[in-house]
Chains A and B, each alone.
Chain A
Amino acid sequence: MINKEKADILIVGVGGQGILLASEIISSVCLEAGYDVKQSEVHGMAQRGGSVSSHVRYGDVVYSPTIERGRADILLSFELLEALRWIEFLKPEGTAIVNNMKITPMPVADGSERYPDNIRQKLEKRCKELVLVDGNSIAVKAGHIKTVNIALLGVFSKYLPFDTNMWKKSIVERVPVKTKEINLIAFDSGRNAN
């Protein structure tokens, strides 16, 4: 749990994983809690399987929309290699919440490069707290693999000082009506995991 009245949160993963929706929910909860909020991401290539990052900053007043290397309080990664790619943005005393899954990038798929080994150990060396989450199984149990972003959000939500109902309200407002129930299950399962 972050006790400070401000935090820098970096959310990363692969285009198509629902990263932008997750960061929108985080930002909306910070706004609801009365803070100044900035969220920054780059659109355009997101849907094409590229590396995607979204910066969320909250506090009394926020100036820069982006987080500097070595200054993020929390890194929330939807994929292992992306966690390693962005870990240098996390401050040494920060927390990394990482979905324990691999998505093969094209240079690895076509055999020209190798997916790195021992990512867990590499991440552990670089942050105070590493939380590895089997987000995909939580999502599948909740009802659909596509709820993985909300499942991870459930895990993440324990690290911010905001009430469960605020998170749920924001989720319900933003997911398709048909998927409301399974997303809420995914969120609860994530929040109660470990």
Chain B
Amino acid sequence: MRKLYSGNEAVARGAFEAGVEIAAAYPGTPSTEIMENIAHYKEIYAEWSVNEKVAFEVAFGGAVGGKRALAAMKHVGVNVAADALMTAAYTGINAGFVLVSADDPGMFSSQNEQDNRFFAKMAQIPMLEPSNSQEAKDFTILAFEISEKYDTPVLLRMTTRVCHGKSIVECRDRIPGPACRYQKNPQKYVMIPANARKRHVVVEERRKRLSEFAENFSGNITEYNDTSIGIITSGVSYQYAREVFPGSSFLKLGVSYPLPMNKIKTFAEKVKKLYVFEELEPFLEERLSAAGINLTGKNVLPVLGEFSPELLREKLQGQVTENSECDVKLPARPPVMCAGCPHRAVFHVLRKLRAVVSGDIGCYTLSTLPPLNTMDTVLCMGASMGIAQGLVRVLDERNRDRVVSVLGDSTFIHSGIPGLVNAVYNRANITVIILDNRITAMTGHQDNPGTGRTLKGEKVPDFDFAGMARAAGVEFVQTVDPVDINETENIISQALKHQGPSVVIAKRPCVLVDRNQFPGQMKIDWDTCKVCKICLRIGCPAISINDSKITIDQTMCFGCGLCQQICPHGSIIPLKSMKTGSENDK
């Protein structure tokens, strides 16, 4: 059966065919669709865990318990799971265990473009890098075999173009994983120093055996054509290289840690000029250069951003695609918070109160863009909490009473909770605003403990944010409907005045999940509109100015009424008194 699958769908298919029985993830672009697709297979227990560390541990527990297991996350998620990963490399596994890391060269939807190949080296575990969907599926299955043969977690490293690029995959049937009986084995799985020292010896011995494995691995493919140029590459860079250098010789690395150094040396000797193509850091290049191999790589190719065939043509063949002369600079089209987004009102209020905003990761990060311009810092998941507590300790009097930490419902559960407990324990005078839109929105609307539904659709009790805050010892805990601006401003002002940590929960569903939550759309009353442009300052994509006239686009307006509340002239009124929507549409 031939299917057109994205790399993520192919990993899910690979997990199914490999007989995986347990899988866990926290959503994060570009990895999210792996677990969404695994969840469709009824044979596999799959869950959204609350963060990547827990996801890793759940899957690892399943592997130790004797069933093939997979954890998936975006590259920065591996940072969160790294504590578990580094020691899981010591214990090894029972049934096969695969960690999928989805890296994001070019930062399409990430805060950095770290190169997670270094995790394989640091943990001393094998790493496979597929270059298309068929390989994503095949390598997933091979990764389980390698994991069991060498008693090690295996890292499957994907990148955005492999995750989201679709290509043809040949599907097969599911084969149950090997029977691995669970046996208590504290010397292997209880990492007290006495046991860990012995396991480190095992890791070293395993590394040597893995080097031999890499020399013979079927996924490292040498192809000799014209030998005047030889190219060593892996992942999607291989596809770009084949496009630009169709007649050259290739050593395509399927396993890029550990490296098949003998195979590489042989290849390097047979070709006249050696290129190494790898996105991001010189991971392969450093090892090859250390072995005395002469090559062209990062001396001409960038460490920044993603590659493309065009880039290779330009840097290696001197072919420059000319920019077609543009007579005008085109307006950018940045992503924006949606019309009707319940987060918008909170940021309008925070701007008005001149708050110092320690921000976090989610749709609401977009409030950093014009015209809202609210965020002071955004670092990583959950960081709004700790950073706010550092800021209040050092800022001057003018600013330290208005430090606010803003984060979403899922981000709060992911890694905000320890920060809140820390604020109570250390009496940090911060205000925490939890934007509870009842969903993990940014990654495409995944369930989380706050939604009361699991990945498999099971109903569970809703997470109680206010109860959590009170249990942590927060005295000021208030829930507010952010669509009521006056009340939101009132409650946030009170929270800022409160001495000690305070929590405000701005609760209102994401408008894309519940599109009919508002009474009706808005329009401009042009007879009274003074074109003061105050409504433009909230950054609603439905409101625009055309030929000195403000208009509300009826195909976009959900009727949240935020603009109506801030218009000083009463010129924004409900549309419903009118018969049709066309009158306001220019």
Contact = CB atoms under 8 A, between A and B. Distances in A.
B514 to A, nearest CB: 15
Give 9 closest A-B pairs by Cβ, nearest first: A44-B109, A48-B335, A50-B335, A109-B544, A44-B29, A65-B165, A105-B333, A39-B166, A63-B242
Contacts of A39: 4, 165-167
B161 A50 contact: no
A128 B33 CA distance: 39
Interface string A31-49: 1000011111111110111
Output the residue of A43, A70, A88, A107 with the most chain B CB within 10 A. A43
Interface of A: 14-15, 24, 27-28, 31, 36-45, 47-51, 62-66, 68-70, 81-82, 84-85, 87-88, 104-116, 122, 126, 145
Contacts of B323: 88
Interface stretch (B280-288, B403-411, B535-543): B535-543
B310 interface: yes
B291 to A, nearest CB: 29
Given A27-B166, A108-B544, A48 B108 contact: no
Contacts of B568: none
8 contacts: A37-B168, A42-B109, A43-B32, A47-B512, A65-B236, A68-B313, A68-B321, A81-B330
A104 B488 CA distance: 30
Contact of A40 (B161, B328, B555): B161
B165 A38 contact: yes
Contacts of B178: none
A42 B539 CA distance: 24
A81 to B, nearest CB: 7
A110 B324 CA distance: 28
Interface string B225-248: 000000000001001101100000
A48 to B, nearest CB: 4
A88 B322 CA distance: 9
B336 A106 contact: yes
Interface of B: 2, 4, 29-30, 32-33, 108-109, 132, 160-161, 164-168, 236, 239-240, 242-243, 308-310, 313, 321, 323-324, 327-328, 330-338, 363, 366, 369-371, 442-444, 512, 533, 536-537, 539, 541, 543-546, 553, 555
Nearest to B548: A111
A84 B330 contact: yes
A53 to B, nearest CB: 11
Contacts, number: 155
Nearest to A43: B164
Contacts of A63: 239-240, 242-243
A37 B167 contact: yes
Contacts of A42: 30, 108-109, 160, 164
A27 B545 contact: no
B59 to A, nearest CB: 23
Contacts of A107: 331-332, 334, 370
Contacts of B334: 50, 105-107
Given A65-B236, A110-B370, A41 B333 contact: no
Given A43-B444, A70-B321, A81 B333 contact: yes
Contact of A81 (B160, B324, B331, B338): B331
A49 B330 contact: no
Contacts of B371: 106, 110
Output the residue of A31, A38, A110, A145 with the most chain B CB within 10 A. A110
Contacts of B168: 31, 36-37
A5 to B, nearest CB: 16
Nearest to A28: B4
A97 to B, nearest CB: 18
Contact of B308 (A31, A37, A66, A88): A66
B165 A108 contact: no
Interface majority SS on B: helix, strand, loop or mixed?
loop
Given A45-B108, A68-B321, A107-B370, 8 more contacts: A47-B512, A48-B338, A50-B334, A50-B336, A51-B332, A65-B236, A81-B333, A110-B371
A64 B239 contact: yes
A38 B545 CA distance: 40
Nearest to A40: B165
B119 to A, nearest CB: 22
A104 B333 CA distance: 9
A101 to B, nearest CB: 11
A182 to B, nearest CB: 17
Contacts of A145: 555
A109 B240 CA distance: 38
Contacts of B363: 48
A69 B323 CA distance: 9
A101 B69 CA distance: 49
Given A39-B166, A63-B239, A126-B324, A111 B536 contact: yes
A142 B4 CA distance: 30
Given A37-B4, A81-B330, A110-B539, A69 B164 contact: no
Contacts of A66: 161, 308-309
Contacts of B164: 40-43
Nearest to B110: A44
A178 B132 CA distance: 35
Contacts of A40: 161, 164-166
A64 B243 contact: yes
